[in-house]
């Protein structure tokens, strides 16, 4: 049994402690013996207004319980005042919890500079100011604990939150750097991505979910991390909430290594792209790849096979920081591949412009700071009438140990790297939207991804750029605007003095440009949202790996002692349960799955539940038979609706010798079949407007398919899964020949009902064999990639086959890339669960 964790004699500073998670922190640490500084500006969750009341109420509650606390009403931008309150009142500071935050959610096309700046001032600069003020005290007493606050929006990106996603992932790079600088002084720093009810989350989550996301589920993990008994866990990244906790780490692909010479081209990379994203032999790094070893191996290789040259004719590429170094290499590479180039540099862009023109290319220079994004982008429009590609490369270094960092050094790096990237991209965005085409390549760094001593400012800015990129990729995708991020490694003036000339040449920035051009082209198999490390003939993708973690029962109060008992599971990446989350839904899923974890048993076992009773009565009961008639004309109409061409006679001409209807026609008869159950009876709060069609499983049980006939279908309820904030309903429809009774089709349709969970049902779906199998595609390149552009009226034609959803009345224009792997057994019914990737 673990002894109760105590904090007697220690002083804890909690920012944003007037409510939500911050208040829970303050009350907990005070109850365990700590003296607490309760900081809260008292504004709204949008950062508007001030009030002393929020902090005072928490202080009064602590004192009424016999604890010690003092209020502070400063903005976190004045972090030195907050820390000064701790020193003047209690004489020391031991633990800093950077928790204060606001939201200014808005789509990127509508975001204003104020929305961007305010989020960064509170989340990023505020966390820096508080930590910087506390740092000398931590060093002097050889003890300090810091918790910074990220979020799933930062880790994975979130639509409409480019500002927030950027700020929150900046906290990861900042924390990793503080951890490296602080460890020898017993200053341990970790970052959490909490999912907890607050003034911010209550605006975007249903009440039943918020009930299971109390801040009390986050506090115990933080309590363990900041306790003096923790002497080793630092620089860690944790997801926590709803009774679930797990650690994350970076995973780097084995990647693609080619000879660093003239044969290292964009085409050479694209030809072997599957190696770039191959994680079969991964690394779990805390810093850059071993580029010296990679370079030595690269030099032993032969030239890459000749690949097709990338054609960028007609494209206009803007490169910030293009006057020298890596930026210059980008500009020259774009020009060689036919693009018109805008060379932006605060120093001298004209030399590179002259180089491009001398080789017969088109280029224009613009001497301006990246922070003046409107001027930079205007130069592209004035010179070439459009802009297609933005490479945000401009940057500066202002390295300094954190104890010696000053606010000017912090602000200058943040402004050039993070705000400059935002400003240039923001200025280009309306043009991208208008032309429904854009490519953005942003630049992070291994210092940002993994942290680096003496670069707290640079690491925060560079990791913030990655968070910005991931959110922007989500917003741009449907407009054919793709966003990727690279962490480049190239030689410097220093490395040139200690390496042989051949290796110096192989470290040239020229060997970063090929990946940049590949990502900015129309040919990349993974078009958007990626993070890639690159240099010296090597490139590879980097992603998150999450430990299997531990889920605690949600019907029992969680304590730090219980967390310590299960610490090994929370941080264990090697027990076979680790996964690779890539979006906010992946983060939330683990938490939602834990909501039915109860020490007293699943709530679904409780009796007297009207929804469970209705489900039990409905499951397996067949509905009434529903007839579906179709003729050859209907077969042709369906084929046309899913993309058949007039030249494909077997699909559009009934007189063709091999006239047929496509096998996916099997999904149509169920749409005229009445459900065998009442949605209102089996789930709470049902509304058709909250229904999303999810998975569709189809078996073709008759072959060849008749091109006309009379069919009868019957439906039945298969199962209902309670996901906490939503419900998943699976129903099956069997379709037979009306004349013979022979089976023709079998469908299982899954619908996702938002806001309809929390009724005490089973939390996990049953294994139903092929119908629920993951159907993981082979880990290799697709056998064939087919790109088709649908007609703008195709959806309107398709719905006439019987799928009368109102959304299909909209005109659609999609570019479809299909990577399809089917494994069929002719001795059993044909089953289809293909993987489609809509690009």
Q: What digits encode the pLDDT tens for the residues 265-303?
A: 999 999 999 999 999 999 999 999 998 899 889 989 999
Sign of CA dihedral 443, 448, 452, 458: positive
| Lowest-confidence pick of 48-57, 369-378, 385-394 | 48-57
- Cα maximum dimension of the chain: 93
371: its two tokens: 């922070």
Beta-bridge partner residues of 726 = 754
Decide: 618 and 681 in contact? Cβ < 8 Å. Answer: yes
Mean pLDDT on 474-497: 81
Report the DSSP pairing between strands 68-72 and 35-39. Answer: parallel
Quick one: DSSP state of residue 691? E
More confident residue, 731 or 592: 731
Please give the Cα distance from 733 to 749 (Å, whole number): 8
Orientation angle between helical segments 126-141 and 456-476, nearest 10 degrees: 150
User: Token pair of 781, please?
Assistant: 């390149």
Please tell me the distance from the alpha carbon of residue 735 to that of residue 756, in angstroms, as a whole number: 29
Give whichever of 1-5, 190-194, 692-696, 833-837 has the largest mean pLDDT: 190-194
Annotated catalytic residue within 7, 25, 73, 168 = 168
Rg (CA), the chain: 29
Torsion of CA 361, 367, 368, 369, to 10 degrees: 80
- pTM above 0.85? no
Look at residues 658, 660, 734 and name the one whose alpha carbon lies nearest to residue 700. Answer: 734
Active-site choice (25, 128, 164, 746): 164
H helices of 323-390, in order, are 325-336, 350-358, 373-384
Residue 295 tokens read as 């370079």
Instruction: Find tokens 């491009």 and name the residue.
Output: 356
Angle at CA of residue 401, ends 123 and 155, nearest 5°: 35
Q: Cβ neighbours of residue 119 under 8 Å, at least 6 residues apart?
A: 102, 103, 104, 163, 164, 166, 167
State the pLDDT at residue 818.
39
- Residue 92 above 60 pLDDT? yes
Q: List Cβ neighbours of 653 (8 Å cut-off, separation of 6 or more).
A: 636, 659
What pLDDT is stored for residue 573 in this prediction?
97
CA 703 to chain centre: 43
pLDDT above 90: residue 459? yes
Question: What pLDDT does residue 641 have?
Answer: 93
Measured distance between the N- and C-terminal CA atoms of the chain, rounded to whole angstroms: 54
- For residues 164 and 381, give the distance between their C-alpha atoms in angstroms, rounded to a whole number: 30
pLDDT in tens, 145-157: 999 999 999 999 9
Beta strands at 481-488 and 438-443: parallel, antiparallel or unpaired: parallel
Q: What is the pLDDT of residue 200?
A: 53
Average pLDDT over residues 61-88: 98
Q: Is 164 a catalytic residue?
A: yes
Residue 824 has pLDDT above 50, yes or no: no
Split at pLDDT 50, 70, 90, the class of 796 is confident
Task: Check pLDDT > 80 for residue 822.
Answer: no
Show Cβ contacts of residue 294 under 8 Å, excluding neighbours closer than 6 positions.
Answer: 257, 536, 537, 538
Domains of the chain: 11-251+547-596 (3.40.50.720), 309-542 (3.40.50.720), 603-838 (3.10.129.10)
Look at residue 815 in the predicted model and tell me its pLDDT: 36
Say what angle helices 373-384 and 420-435 make with each other, to 10 degrees.
Answer: 40
User: How would you label 710-725 residue by residue, b for 16+ Cβ within 10 Å and e otherwise?
Assistant: ebbbbbbbbbbbbbbb
Cβ–Cβ < 8 Å for 168, 126: no
Task: Tell me which of 229-233, 389-393, 674-678 is least confident.
Answer: 674-678
**What's the pLDDT tens digit per position in 714-751?**
999 999 999 877 899 999 999 999 999 999 999 999 99
Tens-digit pLDDT profile for residues 99-144:
998 888 899 999 999 999 999 999 999 999 999 999 999 999 999 9
**Catalytic-residue membership of 458:** yes
Question: Comparing 38 with 780, which gets the higher pLDDT?
Answer: 38
Q: How many helices (H) and strands (E) does the chain have?
A: 29, 27
State yes or no: pLDDT of 833 exceeds 80. Answer: no
Percent of the chain with pLDDT over 70: 90
The residue that leads in pLDDT, 197 or 348, is 348
pLDDT tens digits along 415-450: 999 999 999 999 999 999 999 999 999 999 999 999
* pLDDT score of 500: 66
Q: Spell out a b/e string for 661-681, using b for 16 or more CB atoms within 10 Å of the CB, else e.
A: beeebbbbbbbebeebbebee
Q: What value does the mean pLDDT take over residues 9-34? A: 97
What stretches of 5-47 adopt beta strand conformation (E)?
11-14, 35-39
Q: What tens digit of pLDDT does each residue of 529-546 get?
A: 999 999 989 999 999 999
Nearest to 806 by CA among 791, 814, 796: 796
Provide the percentage of residues in the chain whose pLDDT is more than 90.
73
Residue 31 has φ and ψ, to the nearest 5°, of -70, -20
Can you give the pLDDT at residue 587? 84
- How many CB atoms within 10 Å of residue 583? 16
Read off the pLDDT of each residue in 341-364 and give the average, rounded to a whole number.
97
Task: Name residues whose C-beta falls within 8 Å of residue 839's C-beta, 6 or more positions apart in sequence.
Answer: 527, 787, 815, 816, 817
Residue 832: predicted pLDDT: 42
Average pLDDT over residues 510-514: 95
Q: Classify strands 481-488 and 256-257 as parallel, antiparallel or unpaired.
A: unpaired
User: In whole angstroms, what is the distance from residue 77 CA to residue 50 CA?
Assistant: 14
Q: What is the pLDDT of residue 606?
A: 42
Q: Which residue has the higher pLDDT, 559 or 724?
A: 559
* Apex 773 CA angle, 767 and 774, nearest 5: 125
Q: What value does the mean pLDDT take over residues 385-413?
A: 94
Please state, in angstroms and rounded to a whole number, the distance separating the CA atoms of residues 28 and 828.
Answer: 60
**343 contact partners, CB below 8 Å, separation of at least 6:** 319, 322, 323, 327, 331, 349, 352, 353, 356, 363, 364, 365, 366
CA distances from 405 to 48, 454, 807 (A): 30, 9, 55
Q: How far is CA 819 from the centre of its chain?
A: 22
- The span from the CA of 715 to the CA of 638, in Å, is 22
Residues 6+ apart with CB under 8 A from 219: 21, 24, 25, 28, 560
- Contact assessment for residue 441 and residue 390, using Cβ atoms and an 8 Å cutoff: yes
- Please report the DSSP string for 95-157 in residue order: EEE----------GGG--HHHHHHHHIIIIIHHHHHHHHHHHHHHHHT-EEEEEE--HHHHH-
Highest mean pLDDT among 396-410, 490-504, 587-601: 396-410
Question: Looking at 458, 482, 697, 746, which residue is catalytic?
Answer: 458
Confidence band for 1, pLDDT divided at 50, 70 and 90: low
pLDDT score at 50: 57
Active site residue 185: no
User: Residue 159: pLDDT above 80?
Assistant: yes
Q: What is the mean pLDDT of the chain?
A: 89
pLDDT at 769: 81
pLDDT at 742: 92
Would you place residue 589 in the very low, low, confident or very high pLDDT band (cuts 50, 70, 90)? Answer: confident
Question: What are 760-784's pLDDT values in tens digits?
Answer: 888 888 887 888 877 777 767 677 7
Instruction: Quote the pLDDT of residue 502.
Output: 65
Residue 824 to residues 37, 125, 598, 828, Cα–Cα distance (Å): 65, 57, 42, 8
pLDDT score for 820: 40
- Tens digit of each residue's pLDDT (9 = 90 or more) over 650-671: 999 999 999 999 999 999 999 9
Whole-angstrom distance, CA of residue 129 vs CA of residue 109: 30
Q: Does residue 417 contact residue 395 with C-beta atoms inside 8 Å?
A: yes
């Amino acid at each position: 049994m673990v002894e109760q964790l105590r904090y007697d004699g220690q002083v804890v500073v909690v920012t944003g402690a007037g409510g939500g998670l911050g208040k829970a922190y303050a009350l907990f640490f005070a109850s365990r013996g700590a003296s607490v500084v309760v900081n809260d500006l008292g504004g709204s969750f949008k950062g508007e207004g001030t009030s002393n009341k929020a902090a005072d109420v928490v202080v009064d509650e602590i004192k009424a319980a016999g604890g010690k606390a003092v209020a502070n009403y400063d903005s976190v931008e004045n972090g030195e005042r907050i820390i000064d309150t701790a020193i003047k009142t209690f004489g020391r500071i031991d633990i800093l919890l950077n928790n204060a935050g606001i939201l200014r959610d808005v789509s990127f096309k509508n975001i204003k500079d104020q929305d961007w700046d305010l989020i960064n001032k509170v989340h990023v600069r505020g966390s820096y100011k508080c930590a910087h003020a506390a740092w000398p005290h931590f060093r002097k007493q050889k003890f300090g604990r810091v918790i910074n606050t990220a979020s799933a929006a930062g880790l994975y990106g979130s639509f409409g939150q480019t500002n927030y996603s950027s700020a929150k992932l900046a906290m990861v790079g900042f924390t990793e750097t503080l951890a490296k600088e602080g460890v020898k002084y017993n200053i341990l720093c970790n970052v959490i991505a909490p999912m907890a009810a607050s003034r911010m989350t209550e605006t975007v989550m249903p009440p039943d979910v918020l009930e299971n996301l109390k801040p009390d589920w986050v506090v115990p993990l933080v309590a363990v991390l900041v306790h003096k008994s923790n002497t080793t866990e630092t620089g860690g990244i944790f997801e926590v909430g709803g009774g679930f906790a797990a650690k994350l780490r970076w995973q780097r692909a084995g990647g693609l290594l080619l000879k660093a010479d003239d044969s290292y081209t964009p085409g050479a990379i694209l030809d072997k792209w599957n190696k770039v994203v191959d994680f079969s032999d991964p690394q779990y790094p805390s810093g850059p790849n071993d580029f010296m070893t990679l370079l030595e191996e690269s030099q032993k290789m032969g030239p890459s096979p000749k690949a097709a040259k990338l054609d960028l004719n007609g494209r206009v590429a803007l490169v910030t920081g293009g006057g020298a170094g890596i930026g210059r290499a980008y500009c020259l590479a774009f020009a060689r591949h036919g693009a018109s180039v805008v060379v932006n540099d605060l120093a001298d862009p004209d030399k590179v412009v002259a180089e491009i023109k001398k080789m017969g290319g088109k280029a224009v220079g613009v001497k301006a700071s990246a922070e003046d994004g409107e001027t930079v982008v205007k130069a592209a429009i004035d010179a070439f009438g459009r802009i297609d590609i933005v490479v945000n490369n401009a940057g500066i270094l202002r390295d300094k140990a954190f104890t010696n960092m000053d606010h000017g050094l912090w602000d200058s790096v943040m402004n050039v790297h993070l705000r400059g990237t935002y400003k240039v991209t923001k200025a280009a965005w309306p043009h991208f939207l208008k032309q429904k085409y854009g490519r953005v390549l942003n630049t992070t760094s291994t210092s940002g991804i993994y942290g680096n001593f003496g670069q707290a400012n640079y690491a925060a800015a560079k990791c913030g750029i990655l968070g910005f990129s991931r959110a922007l990729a989500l917003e741009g995708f449907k407009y054919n605007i793709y966003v990727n991020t690279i962490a480049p490694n190239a030689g410097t003036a220093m490395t040139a003095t200690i390496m042989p000339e051949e290796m110096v040449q192989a470290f040239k920035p020229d060997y970063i440009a090929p990946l940049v051009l590949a990502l900015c082209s129309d040919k990349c198999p993974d078009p958007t949202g990626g993070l890639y490390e690159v240099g010296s003939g090597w490139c590879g993708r980097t992603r998150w790996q999450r430990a299997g973690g531990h889920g605690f029962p949600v019907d029992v109060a969680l304590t730090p002692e219980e967390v310590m008992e299960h610490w090994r599971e929370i941080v264990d990446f090697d027990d076979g349960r680790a996964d690779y989350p890539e979006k906010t839904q992946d983060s939330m899923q683990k938490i939602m799955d834990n909501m039915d974890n109860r020490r007293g048993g699943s709530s679904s076992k409780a009796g007297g539940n009207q929804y469970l009773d209705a489900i039990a009565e409905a499951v397996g009961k067949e509905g009434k038979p529903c007839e579906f008639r179709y003729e050859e004309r209907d077969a042709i109409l369906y084929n046309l609706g899913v993309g058949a061409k007039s030249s494909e006679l077997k699909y559009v001409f009934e007189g063709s010798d091999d006239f047929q209807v496509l096998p996916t026609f099997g999904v149509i008869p169920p749409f005229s079949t009445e459900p065998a159950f009442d949605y209102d009876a089996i789930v709470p709060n049902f509304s058709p407007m909250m229904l999303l069609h999810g998975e569709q499983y189809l078996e073709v049980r008759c072959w060849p398919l008749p091109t006309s006939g009379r069919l009868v279908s019957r439906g039945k309820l298969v199962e209902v899964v309670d996901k906490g904030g939503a419900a998943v309903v699976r129903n099956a429809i069997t379709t037979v020949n009306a004349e013979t009774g022979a089976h023709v089709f079998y469908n299982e349709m899954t619908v996702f009902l938002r806001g309809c969970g929390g009724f005490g049902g089973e939390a996990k779906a049953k294994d139903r064999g092929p119908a629920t199998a993951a159907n993981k595609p082979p880990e290799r390149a697709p056998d064939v990639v087919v790109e088709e552009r649908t007609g703008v009226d195709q959806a309107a034609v398709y719905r006439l086959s019987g799928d009368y959803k109102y959304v299909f009345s909209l005109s659609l224009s999609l570019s479809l890339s299909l990577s399809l792997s089917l494994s069929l057994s002719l001795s059993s019914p044909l089953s289809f669960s293909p993987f489609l990737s809509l690009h």
